[in-house]
């Protein structure tokens, strides 16, 4: 029943904004952070995902990111990632239609699935940044040839170009994300515990500006009570084959 409502909401919307979290990649075999098997259950975030941790022990932090890169390297985008690619095409073809995908994920699965208009709020695990000269480059090597990696220009340490706890989100991405959230008439939140700011405030921005909110998550979150439709389900199960089920606008 609930997914029929989802299709009805989607058929009537013009400006769709989607926010994803690690839950959308869970069915691809990538662990989430706070679930029962989550990364933060096995590791302490402040030991691995902060500037201080990296300053204290860059090799340990890089061993953890190299391990995550290997898991992600073996993973494939799932039916939920694919459904968002199809929704992007559907909304881009719709008269007055707009689509934006905001992700907290750094795994690159939305890009591999083919999403075009993607705003990465927390960076990219496949991008390295020099702590000395600031040079950045994509690096998909698995395994990395040496840990921790060093800059080939200035020989300083390279770090993952991701946002760590205590760091600000990239300003340009945040400004774009706030803009598309405030102007969305339908906001779809998929696979996030909605506990980490400021990303978790984006759905509220949509609601405050009259947008409708739909949540897809097997478990309740702080957003569930605000959702116009809360679908208790797994992303790939709920979204698989969706675009073929959306009635013509
Ligand atoms: N489909 C949809 N949702 C799922 C699935 C699934 N198959 N499996 C789990 N979930 C949900 C969980 O119920 C949970 O609400 O995904 C959510 C994952 O929450 P977190 O593990 O907290 O991940 P996320 O919300 O992405 O974390 C936000 O915190 O650690 C930082 O920077 C990191 O971007 C991350 C941010």
Same domain, 66 and 180: no
Same domain, 60 and 132: yes
Same domain, 238 and 209: yes
- How many angstroms separate the first and last alpha carbons of the chain? 19
| pLDDT confidence tier of residue 248, bands split at 50, 70 and 90 | confident
Model confidence over 107-155: pLDDT tens digits?
A: 999 999 999 999 999 999 999 999 999 999 999 999 998 999 999 999 9
Q: Is the pTM of this model over 0.85?
A: yes
Ligand 1 center from residue 218 Cα (angstroms):
10
Which structural domain range is residue 44 located in? 36-74+128-162
Which atom of ligand 1 is closest in space to residue 45's alpha carbon? 30
Query: 158-162 and 123-130: which strand pairing?
Result: antiparallel
Q: What is the dihedral of CA 23, 68, 74, 22, to 10 degrees?
A: 10
Model confidence over 208-221: pLDDT tens digits?
A: 999 999 999 999 99
Mutation test residue for ligand 1: of 22, 50, 174, the one with most atoms within 8 Å of CB: 22
Q: Which helix (H) or strand (E) holds 176?
A: helix 171-182
Please report, for the domain that includes residue 211, its CATH number. Answer: 3.40.50.1220
Place of tokens 């600000």: 168
Same domain, 65 and 83: no
Same domain, 149 and 103: no
Same domain, 178 and 67: no
| pLDDT confidence tier of residue 1, bands split at 50, 70 and 90 | very low
Place of tokens 């096995």: 42
Ligand 1 center from residue 244 Cα (angstroms):
27
150 belongs to the catalytic site? no
pLDDT exceeding 90 applies to what percent of the chain?
91
Read off the pLDDT of each residue in 210-235 and give the average, rounded to a whole number.
98
Rg for the chain (alpha carbons), in Å? 18
Same domain, 103 and 154: no
State the CB neighbour count (10 A cutoff) for residue 52: 12
Same domain, 107 and 70: no
**pLDDT for res 85:** 98
């Amino acid at each position: 029943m609930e997914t029929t409502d989802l299709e009805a909401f989607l058929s009537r919307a013009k400006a769709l904004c989607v926010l994803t979290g690690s839950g959308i990649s869970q069915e691809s075999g990538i662990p989430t952070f706070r679930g029962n098997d989550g990364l933060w259950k096995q590791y302490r975030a402040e030991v691995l995902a902060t500037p201080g941790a990296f300053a204290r022990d860059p090799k340990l932090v890089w061993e953890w990111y190299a391990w995550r890169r290997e898991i992600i390297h073996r993973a494939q985008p799932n039916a939920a990632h694919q459904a968002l690619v199809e929704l992007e095409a559907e909304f881009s073809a719709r008269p007055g239609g707009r689509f934006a995908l905001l992700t907290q994920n750094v795994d690159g699965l939305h890009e591999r699935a083919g999403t075009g208009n993607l705003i990465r709020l927390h960076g990219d695990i496949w991008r390295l940044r020099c702590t000395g000269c600031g040079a950045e480059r994509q690096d998909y090597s698995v395994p990395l040839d040496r840990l921790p990696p060093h800059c080939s220009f200035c020989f300083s340490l390279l770090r993952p170009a991701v946002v760590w706890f205590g760091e600000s989100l990239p300003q340009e991405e945040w400004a774009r994300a706030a803009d598309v959230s405030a102007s969305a008439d339908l906001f779809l939140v998929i696979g996030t515990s909605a506990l980490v700011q400021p990303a978790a405030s984006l759905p509220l921005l949509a609601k405050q500006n009259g947008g409708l909110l739909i949540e897809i998550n097997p478990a309740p979150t702080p957003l569930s009570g605000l959702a116009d439709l809360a679908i208790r389900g797994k992303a790939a199960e709920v979204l698989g084959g969706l675009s073929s089920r959306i009635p013509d606008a």
